[in-house]
Amino acid sequence: MQLTTERLLLEKLQPEDWSLFHEVHSDPVSMQFISAVPQLADIRQRFQTRLQPWQVTSLHMLCLTVRLRASGEAIGLIGANAEWTPWRQAEVGYSLLNRYTGKGYGSEALGAMAAYLLSQCRFHKLTAQVVEGNWPSRRVLEKNGFRLEGTLRENYLLRGEWVDDWLFGKLESD
């Protein structure tokens, strides 16, 4: 599987992507709105799970490596968790290495992923949960037509503190 944009190449996570996966999950800035930096064993387990082949009915996450087309350099990860039956929905998520944020890569990658999930995989709705206050991530979603559907109060325990989540959605008809 491969998706391309003007500047990016999105490809299924491969065993040789371990160093990128580890760097993303070990970077406190990249993980700021996601979780505490996991232990190495947890990162390895997540990586192994995401290497499995994926189809729309899979119970595990689709994970793609985001690369710069010009150089092939890996700059982050993007993925989706599917709930095909009965809802035909997928929750999207993304994380770029900190040095690549603020350049429009996240928006570009999400645009390609959303188009793939809605048109080729035939999902009815895409969702995303973002910790309240994560304005850069909110802008990425809004640039791609995701709408704020509400706030889930004290929905997520982040480093020992309950935080609110913004809930976003995008319908195939949007």
Beta bridge partners of 29: none
Residue 102's CATH number: 3.40.630.30
pTM for the structure as a whole: 0.93
Q: For residue range 50-97, what is the model confidence (pLDDT) as tens digits?
A: 999 998 888 889 999 999 999 999 999 999 998 877 789 999 999 999
CA distance 10 to 169: 22
Percent residues over pLDDT 90 in the chain: 83
Q: Distance of alpha carbon 150 from its chain centroid, rounded?
A: 20
* pLDDT for residue 36: 79
* pLDDT for residue 29: 85
**Which residues, 6 or more positions from 173, have their beta carbon under 8 angstroms from its beta carbon?**
none
4 touches 78 (CB < 8 A): no
* pLDDT for residue 89: 94
127 touches 89 (CB < 8 A): yes
168 touches 146 (CB < 8 A): yes
Domain count, the chain: 1
Q: For residue range 111-145, what is the model confidence (pLDDT) as tens digits?
A: 999 999 999 999 999 999 999 999 999 999 999 99
- Residue-number span of the structural domain to which 16 is assigned: 2-171
Average pLDDT over residues 169-174: 94
